[in-house]
Amino acid sequence: MTTKASVLKLKLLSTFIFFCLVPIVFISVGSYLEVKHRFREMHLAHLESIVKIKANQIERYFQQTEKDVETIQHLPSVQTYLKSPNNRNSLTKAKLAEQIKLLVEGRNINDIYIVDNAGKVVFARTSCSIQRNEVINIINAKYNQIYFSNIYKGHVNNVDYLYLASMPILDETKRRLGTVIVECTANPLFNLIQDYTGLGETGETLLGKKIGKYAVFLNPLRYDQNASLVRKVRIGDSYAIPMQNAVTGSNGSNLTMDYRGKWVLAAWRYIPLTQWGIVAKTDSSELDESLNTYMDAIIAISIIILVFGIAASFKVAMDLMRPIVSLDDSAHIDPLTHLPNRRLLTEVLELAIKKAKMKPDAMFAVLFLDLDGFKHVNDTYGHGTGDWLLKTVAQRLRQTVRSCDTIARLGGDEFVILLSGIKDVHNVMSISEKIIKQINEPFVYNDNSIYIGTSIGISMCSTHKCSDVSELLKKADEAMYVAKQSGKNQFKFAE
């Protein structure tokens, strides 16, 4: 072989390597970066949906507290008790205590205080354990609406998280007679927020509030159980960025630095009602580990392209894009009703099953709802009315169940409700009856009264009898069809 031939061969080989290998490298690297970008965007969207759901749960929790305080505030007997100090005796106090007990029974309320304008506690439901300085701070605030104090730990039990909610008591002329102060427990709320469903092995949710120049963490952290009301970060520091953003009124998501100085994917949201910030986050290293599978696949495909040459490059490039397309199905929220969809419901149910198997007395129920008469509404009034009806049904379900329960839409007119912390079957029956009653109420749309019903199938899960997610949903679905065949607008338990 001549030198010129060798040079020509080398040039041809170099040209082949350049036009084959270089595009493969660009395609491989570009595909990996695109997958990583899409994967990150989808994960951030998932975190944003979790933050939004939990923020709504917090707002509903405190709105219920506000309603309870307003109810006590407007009791005529409370105003009479403040107006007539000479008539305060054990009999009038007992009567007032009985009325208040009926109003707040079953609520997350520890104690109730009625305070006059001088700051003197003239009525306490149980024992007068409220600190004098706390009363003075509330009296001096000069507010006219609901007031929520900062979270604090109980004076007796250091594991209880409490807060005060108060309102002024006014007479008919809007003259201030005194103040009602309600001491509430935040433990159920914290337990709900610290449910890490959908956050992976490293994820967590954080609550915080801006106090002075600091963002103070309110709840125990996954990596610091003693952080509650103790750990804080100065606004403007280079770490705990998501919490700083949240407590200063910002909503958003990004790759950023958390309170441990680690890079995380985080979403944050400000809650105006409580002036809190909430953060949901996952370590970015966990996302990178998930991407290693994609990287291995890309390398293998690149070798195949190199072997088969330019002719197969286009086909393999399309194969590289398939993982990205599959990521488009990762949304967790139903776009019509803004309820969790089947995928997020599955994750919640999987965690609920794990908890039920770990706790001896744990029990929950799965309710499978199918609307009766929905097809007739669509056929008669059109799909626009049908969509409105589905959204309104979702709103009624939210108002009927507890804030700790999960409502999801599977599609069409099918809904699933997870009832957590059930004591016995009677609780499930009571809630199911309330749901049917709510759905039976007329839906008024464009001056038309629309009447529908719902058939409910129920499957129970406890320590000794708990299936996987698909089996739970299947049993509830089958029980729902039994309810329909039995006359509709009723509930049936799975056998």
Amino acid 325: pLDDT: 39
Q: Is residue 109 within 8 Å of 182, Cβ to Cβ?
A: yes
- Residue 423 belongs to a domain with what CATH number? 3.30.70.270
Task: Say how many domains are in the chain.
Answer: 2
Tell me the C-alpha distance between 289 and 371, whole Å.
Answer: 43
**Does residue 487 lie in a domain region?**
yes
Amino acid 41: pLDDT: 87
Amino acid 221: pLDDT: 85
Tell me the C-alpha distance between 193 and 186, whole Å.
Answer: 11
Whether residue 319 sits in one domain with residue 346? no
Domain closes at, from 297, 327, 357: 327
Q: Mean pLDDT across the chain, nearest whole number?
A: 82
Whether residue 294 sits in one domain with residue 387? no
> Phi-psi category of 229—alpha, beta or left, where left has phi over 0 and alpha has psi -120 to 50?
left
- pLDDT tens digits along 161-208: 888 888 888 888 888 888 888 888 888 888 888 888 888 888 899 999
Whether residue 387 sits in one domain with residue 433? yes
Amino acid 1: pLDDT: 41
Query: Phi/psi of residue 370, each to 5°?
Result: -130, 125
**Could you tell me the residue range of the domain that residue 38 belongs to?**
19-65+288-327
CB atoms under 10 Å from CB of 435, counted, come to: 22
Whether residue 404 sits in one domain with residue 372? yes
Whether residue 354 sits in one domain with residue 292? no
Amino acid 73: pLDDT: 84
Whether residue 478 sits in one domain with residue 359? yes
Amino acid 27: pLDDT: 66
Closest Cα partner for 373 from 361, 364, 386?
386
**Does residue 84 lie in a domain region?**
no
Handedness of CA 56, 61, 62, 66 (dihedral sign): positive
Query: Phi/psi of residue 338, each to 5°?
Result: 60, 25
**Does residue 242 lie in a domain region?**
no
Sites in the chain below the pLDDT cut of 50? 1-6, 8-9, 310-330
Whether residue 459 sits in one domain with residue 354? yes
Amino acid 158: pLDDT: 56
Whether residue 413 sits in one domain with residue 323? no
- pLDDT tens digits along 281-320: 999 888 777 766 666 666 666 666 666 654 444 443 334 3
Q: Is residue 115 within 8 Å of 122, Cβ to Cβ?
A: yes
